[in-house]
């Protein structure tokens, strides 16, 4: 008799699991960006553990409970009505900011697209292709006067509706090189644009976000959490932006403002620059190097640094949709995530850098990038170094 009731309980548990699983899949189907993929991976892993480590009955029971909890969690990921909510985006001349302005405009947001050159081709294209709800505004994030003027224009247009989101996207890369070789001017420029510019824009527009209980979204980089050779200036500035985001997330929670930081992987944008720009930056680097440093590294090594830019371009994705969907989630979901990692291997490398021993991470990074070019002082035999 007990066996009969056990079978009934098992079949009942299986039926409940099937129903909950179906409901969960419906939720996942409507979840953009990383929400659905992460939930599927976690549920699959958890379900496998339950079924393998427990009896069939208890495995299904625990898995059913986890389905219920995940369903409740995903309910908090439901999308809010757009209702022409106003968003400000910096760095919209090209690349991610440009694509994001178009994407949010198509979704029905009122978009303020901040550009470095309001008369440039990128700004003109936004005016030509987007709806009347998109406004192009001059906004150099390193210029306090332009930030204040942009604030006045936004306030004048949104009036009582308020500003729903600020998306700090503007950024510069600088010329990738060993940290010792990068001119101090490049370090200062990266900090000025990638960090101080984002901080000043945030501070200026925060009263509007507090009023709307809106969103602050900072576009950081995988390089903020994953040490990457040749990106000391860029990675350091983005790491500062990531820490700023984490602190602001805690401080602004009492105001109902939600903060998210996005760590994209490799995407093909104009942040890398043009061949002419690379040549100019490389010449500037050579002109500013101390003779002994230039001697140690060797001109051949320094001239080969442009290969890093070519390789980065080759391995970058031209499809911005992962970033667009994640940003859409940050400004639309009831409960957005604190961290998003769109792009190939971004989340994996962040996990390895955060949780693995440094020696393991260094080994994996070395294997991933290959042997590469070597400094002159390293590649030259010791006896030859002594005679130089």
Helical packing angle, 34-53 and 56-75, nearest 10°: 160
Cα 61 to the center of its chain, rounded Å: 38
Distance of alpha carbon 189 from the chain centroid = 20
How far apart CA 201 and CA 100 sit, in angstroms, is 18
Between the two ends of the chain, the Cα-to-Cα distance in Å is: 92
State the catalytic residue, choosing from 71, 73, 234, 347.
234
CA distances from 184 to 179, 208, 325, 341, 356 (A): 10, 36, 36, 30, 32
Contact criterion met (CB below 8 Å) for 181 and 302: yes
Measured between alpha carbons, how far is 243 from 189 in angstroms, rounded to an integer?
Answer: 19
Q: Residue for token digits 């590649």?
A: 379
3-state secondary structure of 20: helix
Active site includes 234?
yes
Rounded Cα distance, 375 and 294, in Å: 10
Are 315 and 346 in contact by the 8 Å Cβ rule? The answer is no
Q: Which two tokens stand for residue 275?
A: 């061949």
Alpha helices (H) in the chain, listed in sequence order: 2-29, 34-53, 56-75, 95-107, 121-129, 144-158, 184-190, 198-212, 232-252, 275-288, 291-297, 299-303, 306-314, 321-332, 346-355, 358-369, 376-379, 382-387
Q: SS3 of 114, please?
A: strand
Residues carrying an active site annotation: 234
């Amino acid at each position: 008799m007990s066996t009969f009731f056990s079978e009934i309980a098992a079949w009942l548990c299986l039926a409940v699991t099937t129903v909950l699983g179906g409901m969960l899949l419906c939720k996942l189907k409507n979840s953009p960006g990383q929400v659905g993929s992460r939930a599927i991976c976690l549920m699959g892993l958890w379900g496998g553990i339950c079924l393998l480590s427990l009896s069939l009955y208890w495995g299904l029971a625990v898995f059913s409970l986890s389905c219920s909890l995940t369903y409740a969690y995903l309910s908090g990921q439901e999308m809010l009505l757009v209702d022409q909510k106003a968003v400000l985006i910096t760095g919209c001349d090209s690349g991610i900011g440009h694509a994001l302005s178009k994407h949010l405009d198509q979704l029905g947001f009122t978009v303020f697209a901040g550009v470095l050159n309001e008369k440039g081709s990128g700004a003109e294209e936004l005016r030509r292709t987007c709806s009347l709800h998109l406004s192009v505004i001059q906004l150099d994030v390193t210029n306090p006067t332009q930030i204040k003027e942009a604030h006045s224009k936004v306030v004048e247009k949104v009036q009582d509706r308020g500003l729903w989101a600020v998306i700090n996207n503007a950024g510069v890369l600088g010329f990738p090189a060993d940290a010792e070789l990068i001119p101090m001017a490049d370090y200062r420029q990266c900090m000025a644009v990638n960090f101080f510019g984002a901080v000043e824009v945030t501070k200026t527009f925060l009263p509007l976000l507090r009023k709307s209980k809106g969103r602050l979204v900072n576009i950081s980089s995988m390089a903020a959490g994953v040490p990457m050779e040749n990106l000391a200036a860029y990675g350091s500035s983005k790491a500062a932006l990531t820490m700023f985001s984490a602190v602001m997330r805690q401080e602004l929670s009492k105001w109902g403002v939600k903060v998210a930081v996005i760590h994209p992987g490799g995407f093909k944008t104009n942040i890398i620059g043009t061949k002419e720009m690379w040549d100019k930056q490389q010449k500037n680097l050579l002109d500013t190097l101390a003779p002994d440093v230039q001697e140690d590294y060797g001109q051949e090594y320094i001239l080969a640094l442009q290969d890093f830019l070519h390789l980065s371009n080759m391995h970058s994705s031209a499809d911005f949709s992962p970033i667009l969907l994640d940003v859409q989630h940050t400004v639309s979901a009831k409960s957005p995530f604190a961290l998003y990692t769109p792009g190939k291997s971004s989340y994996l490398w962040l996990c390895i850098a955060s949780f693995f021993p440094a020696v393991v991470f260094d080994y994996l990074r070395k294997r991933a990038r290959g042997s590469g070019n070597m400094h002159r002082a390293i590649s030259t035999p010791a006896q030859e170094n002594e005679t130089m």
